[in-house]
Amino acid sequence: MTIMSDINTHIKMNIWFEVGVQYVKVDENGRERKAKETYLLDAISFGEAESRIYKELQTMISGEFIVTRIAKTRISEIIPSDNGSYWYKAKVRFITLDEETGKEKRTEQFMLVYSETIKEAYDQIIEVMKGMMCDFQQPSISESNIYDVFPYSAAEKTELPPHLKPIEAFLEASKAIKEDE
C-alpha cells in the first residue's frame, strides 16, 4: 500500500475517481483466485483515470488485469497518515449562518481518512478541522472498500504524442523569432 505522510498536509479540491480492477492473484496456499480491488486516484477525466491506473498498477500486479469500472466520486478531501491499515469514508456536515435570511445552511462533504480504527479516523478529522470558522458535524464514518489512493504528482510527466511538442519549445521558438526581428 502507498502510505502518505504528514497528516497536516492533507489533499483537497481534486477530482477523485474510483477505479475497479480485476485480476488473478495467487493466495498464500499457492492457489489462483480472482481478486477485485478498488483504487482511488486523482485525474481530470475518465480517460486520464484509466491511463493512470494502468501506469500505477503495472508494477504492482504481476500478470494481466482489467479495469472493470471508473466512477467520479464525491470525495473532497484526503487525510493521509503514516499509521493505518484502512481507508475510512467520513461524511462531514458544515453549518453556516446565512446572513441575509438568518437561517442555517448545511453543506455536506465526504473525506477519506487513512487510519487504524474508526476512533483514530474521527480524531484525525477533528485535528484537521481545528480552527474552522464554522461549526461542523460528523454524521457518519465507515470503513471504505478503497485499497489504495494515488494522488496526482507534479513529478508525473505526461508523454506527448510524436506530432506534438511541449509548450516550452513553442515559447522558446517564439522568443527566438522576436529576437531576430
Task: Read off the pLDDT of residues 58-93 as tens digits, 9 standing for 90 and up.
Answer: 888 888 899 999 999 999 899 998 888 999 999 998
- How many whole angstroms separate alpha carbon 138 and alpha carbon 109? 10
Q: What is the pTM of this model?
A: 0.72
Hey, is 14 helix, strand or coil?
coil
Using a pLDDT cut of 70, give the percent of the chain over it: 86
C-alpha cell at 129: 478541522
Cβ neighbours, 10 Å, residue 56: 18
- What is the C-alpha to C-alpha distance for residues 108 and 95, in angstroms, rounded to an integer? 9
Q: Which of 98, 90, 171, 72 is nearest to 129 (CA)?
A: 90
What is the residue type of 50? E
How many CB atoms are located within 10 Å of the residue 87 CB? 23
Tell me which of 167 and 28 has the higher pLDDT: 28
